[in-house]
Homo-oligomer: A and B are copies of this chain.
Amino acid sequence: MSEAARRLLRTLADAGVEVCFTNPGTTEIELVAALDSEPRLRPVLTLFEGVATGAADGYARMRERPAATLLHLGCGLGNGLANLHNARRAGVPVLNLVGDHASSHRAYDAPLQSDIETVARNVSAWVRTCASAGSLCSDALQALAAALGPPAGVATLIVPADVSWGEDAGAPVAPVAQPARPAPVAEAAIDDAARALVDAGPAALLLGGHALREPALLAAARIAERSGARLLAETFPTRMERGAGLPAVERIAYLPELAAVQLDGLRSVVLVGARPPAAFFAYPGRSGDLLPPACTACGLAAAGDDVDDALQRLAGRLGARQATPRLQQPALPRPARGSLSAQKVCREVGRLLPQQAIVVDEAQTSAVMLPLYTAGAPRHDLLTLTGGAIGQGLPLAVGAAIACPQRPVIALVGDGAALYTLQALWTMARERLHVVCVVFNNRSYAILNLELQRLAGGRAAAGARSQFDLGEPPLDFVRLADGLGVPGVRAATAEEFAAAFAHALASPGPHLIEAVVPPAIGGLKLRLLPRLLRRLDAMPRPLARAIQRKVAP
Contacts and interface: CB of A to CB of B under 8 A. Distances in A.
15 contacts: A26-B447, A29-B456, A32-B464, A32-B467, A33-B459, A35-B467, A45-B467, A48-B420, A78-B82, A79-B79, A111-B387, A161-B282, A473-B485, A475-B485, A476-B484
A180 to B, nearest CB: 25
A110 to B, nearest CB: 6
A61 to B, nearest CB: 16
Contact of A479 (B32, B422, B479): B479
Contacts of A362: none
A289 interface: yes
Interface string A1-36: 100000000000000000000101111011011111
B388 A111 contact: yes
| Protomer copies | 2
A29 B447 CA distance: 11
A442 to B, nearest CB: 15
Contacts of A480: 479-480, 483-484
Interface of A: 1, 22, 24-27, 29-30, 32-36, 43, 45, 47-48, 50, 74-76, 78-79, 81-82, 85, 89, 101-102, 104-105, 107-112, 114-115, 118-119, 121-123, 161-162, 165, 236, 275, 278-282, 284, 288-289, 385-389, 391, 416, 419-420, 422-423, 426, 429-430, 447-448, 451-452, 455-456, 459-464, 466-470, 472-480, 482-485
Contact of A26 (B281, B389, B391, B462): B281
B111 A386 contact: yes
Contacts of A420: 47-48, 79
A468 B289 CA distance: 49
A81 B119 contact: yes
Contacts of A29: 448, 451-452, 455-456
B288 A464 contact: no
A162 B78 contact: no
A34 B459 CA distance: 10
Nearest to A29: B455
A129 to B, nearest CB: 15
A470 B280 CA distance: 39
A122 B114 contact: yes
Given A74-B122, A388-B112, A104 B282 contact: yes
A473 B430 contact: yes
Contacts of A85: 74-75, 78, 112, 114
A480 B33 CA distance: 31
B278 A108 contact: yes
A414 B419 CA distance: 20
Contacts of A482: 476, 479
Nearest to A392: B75
A282 B36 contact: no
A428 to B, nearest CB: 10
Contacts of A281: 26-27, 101, 105, 110, 112, 161
Contacts of A74: 85, 122
A482 B108 CA distance: 43
Across chains A and B, which 5 residue pairs bring their CB atoms closest together, nearest first?
A473-B485, A78-B81, A480-B483, A108-B278, A479-B483
Given A33-B464, A288-B104, A480-B484, A111 B82 contact: no
Contact of A389 (B75, B109, B430, B470): B75
Most chain B beta-carbon contacts within 10 A, residue among A112, A118, A162, A387? A112
B101 A282 contact: yes
Contact of A105 (B27, B118, B288, B479): B288
A456 B78 contact: no
Contacts of A466: 43, 45
B78 A289 contact: no
A6 to B, nearest CB: 12
Contacts of A416: 47
Contacts of A161: 281-282
A27 to B, nearest CB: 7
Nearest to A115: B122
A135 B8 CA distance: 52
A108 B476 CA distance: 39
Nearest to A105: B282
A422 to B, nearest CB: 8
